[in-house]
Chain A
Amino acid sequence: MGRMAFLKMSADKQDTLLKMLVLAVCCILSFSVRLFSVLRFESVIHEFDPYFNYRTTRYLAEKGFYDFHNWFDDTAWYPLGRIIGGTIYPGLMVTAAAFYNVLHYFNITIDIRNMCVFLAPMFSSFTTIVTYHLTKQLSNSGAGLVAAAFMSVVPGYISRSVAGSYDNEGIAIFCMLFTYTLWIKSVKTGSVFWAVLCSVAYFYMVSSWGGYVFLINLIPIHVLACIVTGRYSHKIYVAYTTVYSVGTILSMQISFVGFQPVQTSEHMGALGVFGLCQIVSFINFLCARLSSAHFAILWQTMLYIVGTIFIGAVGFLTLSGKIAPWTGRFYSLLDPSYAKNNIPIIASVSEHQPTTWSSFYFDLQMLVFMFPVGLYVCFKNLKDYNLFIILYGVTSMYFAAVMVRLMLVLAPVMCILAGIGVNHVLTTYMKNLDSVAQKDKKGRTKSDNSYPMRNEVATGVVVMMTIFLSLFASHSVWVTSEAYSSPSIVLSARGGDGGRIIFDDFREAYYWLRHNTPENSKVMSWWDYGYQITAMANRTILVDNNTWNNTHISRVGQAMASTEDKAYEIMRELDVDYVLVIFGGLTGYSSDDINKFLWMVRIGGSTDRGAHIKESDYYTPSGEFRVDSEGSQVLQNCMMYKMCYYRFGQVYTEQNKPTGYDRVRNAEIGNKDFELDVLDEAYTTEHWIVRIYKVKDLDNRGNPRT
């Protein structure tokens, strides 16, 4: 019989094979699309935070978990130091180090750096698989496959998980979706087994990212919604009480989290819903036993008593400080203008800014349009578990609009709902195609008079969806390659002849520091570069990206914003040996320290000791921030200005422009001819992007230099 081997398989097997094939392709795609930067540059860690993670992972891999847990890092936050073990989410490092150790056990001698570089792409492959399972739980496997395919290339997720972007988010999205999958599973089955697995996944999530708070609020909201809509059942009771109690106890094992799950307001919602579950179950129990009249009386008295006690207790605990007030980041989640008005250090981070509409489209493209379709399908066929994804979609939509960074949380739900939507549209219309529709005995399709042009409409819709999907794929790849694959530690530009010019100034400077300064030198720089300096230059720094001590950062800001003599006092006080600044005026690198300078002024002026630093002094009378001769005199005499522009006044940067023409701010600098009294230029990189100054000692008689 002439049937092919493939066709001999039963329909089940064919189905499984196809699904596995599609999933495998999705996994490979999601891994390989994240490799642009490795191919274009090299296997290198990106940006700022990943350098810290990389450094700690290396420490963990070399010294073991116990030393890592007890690690007191004296090279950061000089002279305070930092307890690393107690102030980080160790999930990422432990994961990478575990992979590293297992591979080394089998004599696969992969470098720890490569392990870190490729961890995020690897985990995005896992995320793809988890997305499939989650969507399959919510809808069907067809939707699962579409969602998995979306997930593998969605730019909103790629932005945080390209090769080299070794950050918590890289594995946290996997953990989050995994926890959700298990949560749905436990809601569906009401089994303690799945609920316990869910809490273990939750534990992994807590160990890897601070964003777990979203999760521990979303699950209670789901439960609450179920109660309100009358979908509450024993299954939900079993699932939630197990997940909450086991999950909370597990999460408290992470030393950075500690007692927060039972103390801070962010976690109180979960506790409240836990209590509510007990009450509702008790009421259900009573309701089944008592007559309705008796029950009504009991219900009213109970409501008043419990309500009063609860509000009173929460109020008392908050006032007495037992429940910690909400931290700034969460305030800014609820009120986008909170941070801007109150905590400059939070507002100064660009990823904490509100999201613009264009970036929604840029990061999600057609998912934005298919998301409501998916929501509609979920509503049409509302189930306990569908309710969850609806809530997830709506809440994360709100959060993503508040903070750019949380686009990451929105991307998976966008993929899932859009996957459900696309799947629904396609299955509806595919049935109407001539080639699929039932044929009658004469081999002709049945024509239905109530639905004219049935085949044509169906073809049109399918073709349109195909075009949308392929546009989405090409858009995603384009975004990945153009926007999200720059390591930012190595910059590249197109030269006049079309060739590629590489600016490797950061590493040039850090490597110079590493080899040509005394080992115990203290380097002062703005906090953005702290992690990079400790990781690459191996020198002690004053402040870094773990912005835990506002006054310390403020002190550095004050030094940068003061005049030389004031700054010298601060630098002597802080025992600084070298000062490092980033300057883009020669090359046109726009995220340099002069552009960040206003934040230094604001943060510097935000504490008591920096009260003399006023933001308004750094503006022109008309309120502009200018570096040219019309700019404010205070600005032109402060440390930062002088360090950036030292001897820059003699340089010709562009044709037909005077010397000292700043290419970022497009202005000829105002203060050209000055000498530094308290600093020596120690090193300036080839393209002037990094400038390092050495703080002069006191002169022979112990007098300051100015």
Chain B
Amino acid sequence: MRVINILSIGFVYFVLASAELINEDVNRVIDLRSHLVKVTTTVTLRNRGGPVSEFKFIVDPTHNKQLAHISFTQADDEGKVLKKVSSGSDDKLFTVSLPSKLENDGTFRFTAEEVYANALSPFPKEITQSQNQLMVYRGNHFYYSPYKSDSQSTAVELPSKTVESFTKFGNPEKEETTIKYEGTKDFDNVPPNSQNSMKIHFENNNPFLTVSQLTRVVEVSHWGNIAVEESIDVRHTGAKLKGSFSRYDYQRMPNSGAASVKSFKTILPAAASDVYYRDEIGNISTSNLLKTDDSVEFEIRPRYPLFGGWKTFYYFGYNLPSYVHIFIRGDLHALKMRFVDHVMDDQMIEDFTLKIILPEGAKNIKLDTPYPAERLPDQLHHTYLDTVGRPVIIVRKSNLVEQHIEDFVLSYNFNRMLLLQEPLLISAAFFLLFFTVLIIVRLDFSIAYDQASEAKMRVQGVIEQVQALQARREKCYEAYEAAVSKYKASKDHTTFVNTRKSIEKDHKEATNNIQQLVMKVREDAIDTADKVGNLNHIDGTLRDKYSSMMQLAEKLISKKVSRDQYVDQSGKLNKSIDDLKEKASETVDNLLV
């Protein structure tokens, strides 16, 4: 395999040579301050041949397997990103197109930014709690390029002043935390594809955290909320802890466990609210949340400090308002969110899965990722008030670093009327519940015929009817009184007679109805029948009283009695009427008892 690789690279070189590009000046910065190796190379290209529209870039073969990210920008013009096409067998050879054709003797400056993960190896592999963590970086003294380089310079930036050893090729200078390989003639006129192994053994106590797996679930609700949950497997990939972990030393000694990680910061979107932080066994109480204007800083402290070789798992989630991320035109919706978000500084995610749960009924789903990613088959997710299930879009990608924090766009069609489905479903469920209770309570499902309770229910019904009829009669009483007083005022005899007749007719009808009911109820409840009979008796007396009262009024109008006599007699009548009325209402109230 390796032979073929070398052959193919050689072949590439042969083809490229005709373009006759050379690297006039190469400036390389190797940043070893974190657990990632970041190489920034600024190159001035000069064309010594015919016009070219692209150039080649080969990732240094010493660690091309660890490449996590690469990008090319134009060095002069506000860092315009250059388009790259990978043309090698395993993404290690890139063809970068130039913004405009490069004529003979023209120059072009570009910057290549490469990030390598796992390019540092701990040495010694295991340390005790009190030791510092030492790392070895193996690289290339030269800028690896298919073109000849006129001059090169390399600066290696280290996290601290402590360096165990570094290769002395070309008399490097060490100033504070930087080692510079430059200036000597070793770095002039370097032929293409030169390699010279560089080795730096240095102290690095920065967090060596790698996210083994991250699953990001975005659940969209059109009621205005987007819920995000990320479950994260983290492990410490630095030098392994040897021997025991002493809490005493860790708490009291200042330099104990220098390479361990106590906490780190996750930056959440500014609109994030209701943040939670848990794991398989419950809430993790050791965390802090700091809200700033443009973000929410979430300080995550795992349950225990992470030493080399230790790992942990946790998940956290938050809510976002949907108006920030969902764009709507008619039925067409577009969700624009970060594909992967910030987990920690200098993050490295080995295996990343993004799941987007759309509302029920979303159709024509189209996903646009900022970089190629593997789309897995869609799934269905069932949760509260779902019927057919919500579509889930799943995307996977490996080896993601900070530079991958970019937005994806997911467009889909969604009929907003479907929002009504959930409230309707709840209403229907409650309706069904109440209806069932209604049926069970109101209908009689017993096989046996219960005479007593049947009778009781019948009596109940009759009593309710009697009460209604009695109310009607009470209205009649009032009508009598009103008619009398009206007659006294207007002295219109014919109207009075007519009114009286109609009231009496009404009264009689009610009384007859009650009489019929009494007949009915007599079989079931004799005492109720008696009570109603009593009521009728009172009513009869009342009617007599009213009729004599009306006669009295007629007499008054036709001057058969004097005013004083009338006042005296009607007063007596009124008193007995009031007593009777009260008795009647008492009887009605007592009907049920």
Are B248 and A107 in contact (CB-based, < 8 A)? no
Please give the number of chain A residues whose Cβ is less than 8 angstroms from any Cβ of chain B in the complex.
33
Residue among B245, B286, B304, B385 making CB contact with A107, cutoff 8 Å? B385
Interface assignment of B561: CB less than 8 Å from any CB of chain A: no
Are A108 and B384 in contact (CB-based, < 8 A)? yes
Are B286 and A504 in contact (CB-based, < 8 A)? yes
* Interface members, chain A 141-169 (any B CB < 8 Å): none
Are B247 and A685 in contact (CB-based, < 8 A)? yes
Closest to B278 in A: A42
Residue among A507, A647, A650, A680 making CB contact with B282, cutoff 8 Å? A507
Assembled-state Cα–Cα distance A685/B252 (Å): 14
Are A515 and B283 in contact (CB-based, < 8 A)? no
Interface assignment of B325: CB less than 8 Å from any CB of chain A: no
Interface assignment of A688: CB less than 8 Å from any CB of chain B: yes
Interface assignment of B592: CB less than 8 Å from any CB of chain A: yes
* Interface members, chain A 102-120 (any B CB < 8 Å): 107-109
Interface assignment of B471: CB less than 8 Å from any CB of chain A: yes
Contacts of A622 in B (CB 8 A): none
Are B303 and A507 in contact (CB-based, < 8 A)? yes
Interface assignment of B244: CB less than 8 Å from any CB of chain A: yes
Interface assignment of B386: CB less than 8 Å from any CB of chain A: yes
Indicate the member of A109, A507, A682 with the most B CB atoms within 10 Å: A507
Are A683 and B385 in contact (CB-based, < 8 A)? no
Interface assignment of A10: CB less than 8 Å from any CB of chain B: yes
Interface assignment of B92: CB less than 8 Å from any CB of chain A: no
Chain A nearest CB from B441 CB (Å) reads 10
Residue among A502, A507, A682 making CB contact with B245, cutoff 8 Å? A682
* Interface members, chain B 363-393 (any A CB < 8 Å): 382-387
Contacts of B244 in A (CB 8 A): 680-682, 694
Assembled-state Cα–Cα distance A512/B310 (Å): 9
Contacts of A694 in B (CB 8 A): 244
Interface assignment of B424: CB less than 8 Å from any CB of chain A: no
Assembled-state Cα–Cα distance A688/B593 (Å): 73
Are B279 and A647 in contact (CB-based, < 8 A)? no
Interface assignment of B243: CB less than 8 Å from any CB of chain A: yes
Contact with A along B305-325 (1 / 0, CB 8 A): 000011111000000000000
Interface assignment of A392: CB less than 8 Å from any CB of chain B: no
Assembled-state Cα–Cα distance A508/B312 (Å): 11
Residue among B284, B311, B384, B460 making CB contact with A515, cutoff 8 Å? B311
Interface assignment of A1: CB less than 8 Å from any CB of chain B: yes
Contacts of A651 in B (CB 8 A): 248
Assembled-state Cα–Cα distance A539/B549 (Å): 100
Please count the residue pairs between chain A and chain B whose beta carbons lie under 8 angstroms apart in the complex. 76
Assembled-state Cα–Cα distance A1/B475 (Å): 10
Contact with A along B225-251 (1 / 0, CB 8 A): 000000000000000000111111000
Are A511 and B281 in contact (CB-based, < 8 A)? yes
Known: A504-B286, A510-B281. A650 touches B310 (CB 8 A): no
Are A107 and B281 in contact (CB-based, < 8 A)? no
Residue among A516, A684, A686 making CB contact with B246, cutoff 8 Å? A684
Are A42 and B304 in contact (CB-based, < 8 A)? no
Interface assignment of B551: CB less than 8 Å from any CB of chain A: no
Chain B contact residues, majority secondary structure: loop
Closest to A487 in B: B282
Interface assignment of B189: CB less than 8 Å from any CB of chain A: no
Contacts of A647 in B (CB 8 A): 246, 248
Interface residues on B, range: 20 to 34
Interface assignment of A4: CB less than 8 Å from any CB of chain B: no
Known: A508-B303, A684-B245. A11 touches B592 (CB 8 A): yes
Interface assignment of A536: CB less than 8 Å from any CB of chain B: yes
Contacts of A42 in B (CB 8 A): 282-283
Assembled-state Cα–Cα distance A694/B252 (Å): 22
Chain A nearest CB from B396 CB (Å) reads 24
Interface assignment of A401: CB less than 8 Å from any CB of chain B: no
Are B592 and A10 in contact (CB-based, < 8 A)? yes
Assembled-state Cα–Cα distance A313/B55 (Å): 104
Chain A nearest CB from B308 CB (Å) reads 11
Are A504 and B384 in contact (CB-based, < 8 A)? no
Are B247 and A502 in contact (CB-based, < 8 A)? no
Closest to A109 in B: B383
Residue among A44, A490, A502, A508 making CB contact with B304, cutoff 8 Å? A508
Contact with B along A645-671 (1 / 0, CB 8 A): 001001100000000000000000000
Closest to B306 in A: A516
* Interface members, chain A 20-70 (any B CB < 8 Å): 41-42, 44
Are A650 and B248 in contact (CB-based, < 8 A)? yes
Closest to A652 in B: B252
Chain B nearest CB from A490 CB (Å) reads 8
Interface assignment of B285: CB less than 8 Å from any CB of chain A: yes
Assembled-state Cα–Cα distance A264/B282 (Å): 43
* Interface members, chain B 269-309 (any A CB < 8 Å): 279-286, 303-304, 309
Contacts of A514 in B (CB 8 A): 280-281
Known: A10-B592, A516-B310, A651-B248. A107 touches B303 (CB 8 A): no
Assembled-state Cα–Cα distance A683/B129 (Å): 12
Assembled-state Cα–Cα distance A511/B460 (Å): 68
Chain A nearest CB from B262 CB (Å) reads 11
Assembled-state Cα–Cα distance A685/B279 (Å): 17
Are B285 and A502 in contact (CB-based, < 8 A)? yes
Known: A42-B282, A684-B245. A515 touches B382 (CB 8 A): no
Chain A nearest CB from B296 CB (Å) reads 21
Assembled-state Cα–Cα distance A651/B249 (Å): 10
Contacts of B281 in A (CB 8 A): 507, 510-511, 514, 536
Assembled-state Cα–Cα distance A441/B304 (Å): 83
Are A511 and B245 in contact (CB-based, < 8 A)? no
Are B382 and A512 in contact (CB-based, < 8 A)? no
Contacts of B303 in A (CB 8 A): 504, 507-508, 511-512
Are A109 and B312 in contact (CB-based, < 8 A)? no
Known: A10-B592, A504-B303, A511-B312. A109 touches B382 (CB 8 A): yes
Contact with A along B441-477 (1 / 0, CB 8 A): 0000000000000000000100000000001000000
Closest to A512 in B: B304
Are B246 and A681 in contact (CB-based, < 8 A)? yes
* Interface members, chain A 487-506 (any B CB < 8 Å): 490, 502, 504
Closest to A535 in B: B281
Assembled-state Cα–Cα distance A681/B386 (Å): 51
Closest to B381 in A: A109
Known: A107-B383, A511-B304. A681 touches B282 (CB 8 A): no
Assembled-state Cα–Cα distance A536/B279 (Å): 11
Known: A44-B282, A507-B281. A515 touches B245 (CB 8 A): no
Assembled-state Cα–Cα distance A663/B547 (Å): 99
Contacts of A512 in B (CB 8 A): 303-304, 310
Assembled-state Cα–Cα distance A515/B471 (Å): 80
Contacts of B312 in A (CB 8 A): 511, 515
Assembled-state Cα–Cα distance A684/B310 (Å): 15
Chain A nearest CB from B267 CB (Å) reads 25
Assembled-state Cα–Cα distance A44/B281 (Å): 8
Residue among B252, B283, B310, B385 making CB contact with A44, cutoff 8 Å? B283
Closest to B302 in A: A511
Contacts of A490 in B (CB 8 A): 285
Assembled-state Cα–Cα distance A684/B383 (Å): 41
Assembled-state Cα–Cα distance A41/B281 (Å): 13
Closest to A505 in B: B303
Contacts of A683 in B (CB 8 A): 245, 247, 304
Contact surface of B with A, Cβ cutoff 8 Å: 243-248, 252, 279-286, 303-304, 309-313, 382-387, 460, 471, 592-593
30 contacts between A and B (CB under 8 A): A11-B592, A41-B283, A42-B283, A44-B282, A44-B283, A107-B386, A108-B384, A504-B286, A504-B303, A507-B281, A508-B304, A511-B303, A511-B312, A512-B303, A514-B280, A514-B281, A516-B310, A647-B248, A650-B248, A680-B243, A681-B245, A681-B246, A681-B247, A683-B245, A684-B246, A684-B248, A685-B247, A686-B247, A688-B247, A694-B244
List 10 extra interface pairs beyond A107-B384, A504-B284, A516-B309, CB under 8 A: A10-B460, A11-B592, A107-B382, A507-B303, A508-B304, A511-B304, A515-B312, A650-B252, A684-B246, A694-B244
